[in-house]
Structure 1
Amino acid sequence: MSTPVNSHSVNLKFSQDIKLLLQRLAEKPLTLGDVLAETSERSFSLVIALLVLPFLFPVPPGLTGPFGAACLLLSVQMIGGRKSPWLPKKISSYKFPRPFAKVMLQNLRRVTRVLEKITRPRLAKIANNNWTWRLNGLCISWLTLLLISPIPLTNPIPTIGILLLAVAAIESDGLLMCIGYILTILISLLFAFIGYALWMAPGLLPKFIS
């Protein structure tokens, strides 16, 4: 019998976490280590959600690398069954540009307030299963690879899939997880089509970027 890896005791209070991070940001620059310190007890999913939510909005150049690397490292740990998040010092000490971080956190707080209203514990046998936890990590890892791929203007697409899975894990929402799996397949097919189109017409990419 599988042991639950998440429970409703890890309530979706992400908006309160973000409020605390905003207060810290007013005192000093924010690092990924600060995010881990503030949210580690709320599981991998909260940290992953915070890392990818900015990609729903325009982000400054250079952030895809550290954010994507951190998300990938965390999701790989999920595949291995790890229960507490860890990042190497080089990544955890990355400092967010303060103006960007403030706008990002304010936007994230608005989004999470909405998410708190539409999710709830459902299909507990799926949501609280160890193998489901690992499958979530596998899907998030794959979507993160798509997120950091050099295809312009596609960041929000895999981000939505990652967010669905992360929020579903936070709220033990098995139904939302199933929707996330279906969306992962659809996103993969879309990227396969885009990749095939670029392979058949390689001259399109430079024109698209310019």
Structure 2
Amino acid sequence: MPRTASQSHALSDVLDALQNSLNRQKVTIGDIVDHLGRASFASIMLIFSLISTSPASAIPGVTAAVAMLVLLLIVQMMAGRDSVWLPGFITRKPLDAKKVEGGVRWIRGPVEWVEKLLKPRLTFLFHRPWLWLPMILIAGLTLFMPFMEVVPMSGSLASAVIALFAASLLTRDGVLACVSLCLLLVVPVAIYVIEFG
């Protein structure tokens, strides 16, 4: 199946939408979610997991906030909701727009390179029951992410795996979904090596 124009630039389009939301010195998570669109579960998951992967993750509490946000997204996706609901204590969390924008610039190059390789394939993996396995594993991972802030790089590593899964949802690339699932299973080992190796 050939890629459509929207699919071939899906990841860059999400980054563009994020940058358009950074029009003030301070923004909140709610501002970004509203700008991306509350029906865009995969876009929201991608953006915030990328923020937690980038240097912007140095902002205290970002990894924990992103973990809670991703968990809520996963639960709502599995429940079949049409739009995102987030509690006020998450939507009101402020972010430094300059740091977030710096993170976007940092990840844009790799994202634009990766999206050239992506295309719709093995799309049956994005239907139940196949889709539930990575979702359940990611939900489990998010429960440990707040504690990863004390282990250098571990939170960013976990967020990168979630970003890959979100990218697979946006581009309908089942191969990328499989890669993210394999990496998800390796994350605990990698974190152990980082901490004790």
Report TM bin, short chain. Answer: 0.7 to 0.9
Q: How many residues align?
A: 189
Q: Is the 8 Å Cα contact of residues 18 and 108 (structure 1) preserved in structure 2?
A: no
8 Å contact 2:28–2:92 — kept in the other structure?
A: yes
Q: CA RMSD in A?
A: 2.9
For the structure 1 residues 13 and 155, does the alpha-carbon distance in structure 2 shift closer, same or farther, using more than 3 Å as the test? same
**Paired residue for 1:54?**
51
Q: Does 1:164 align with 2:164?
A: yes
Equivalent residue, structure 2, for 1:93: 92
Say whether the 8 Å CA contact 1:79–1:133 is kept in structure 2. no
Amino-acid identity (%):
24
**Structure 1 gap ranges (5+):** 1-7, 199-203, 205-210
Aligned to 2:27: 30
Per the alignment, do residues 34 and 94 of structure 1 end up closer, same or farther by CA in structure 2, a change over 3 Å counting? same
Counterpart position of 1:135: 133
**Paired position in structure 2 for 1:201:** none
Residues 137 and 9 (structure 1 numbering): CA distance in 2 closer, same or farther, change over 3 Å? farther
Give the TM-score of the pair, scaled to structure 2.
Answer: 0.79
Aligned-residue offset at 1:96: 0.9
In the alignment, residue 136 of structure 1 is paired with which amino acid?
P
Aligned to 2:112: 113
Match of 1:5 in 2: none
Q: Does residue 39 of the first structure (1) align with residue 36 of the second (2)? A: yes
The structure-2 alpha-carbon separation of the partners of 1:21 and 1:169, relative to structure 1 and needing over 3 Å to count, comes to closer
What is the TM-score when the length of structure 1 is the normalising length? 0.75
- The structure with the largest alpha-carbon Rg is 1
Residues 10 and 170 in structure 2, CA contact (< 8 A), matched pair in contact too? no
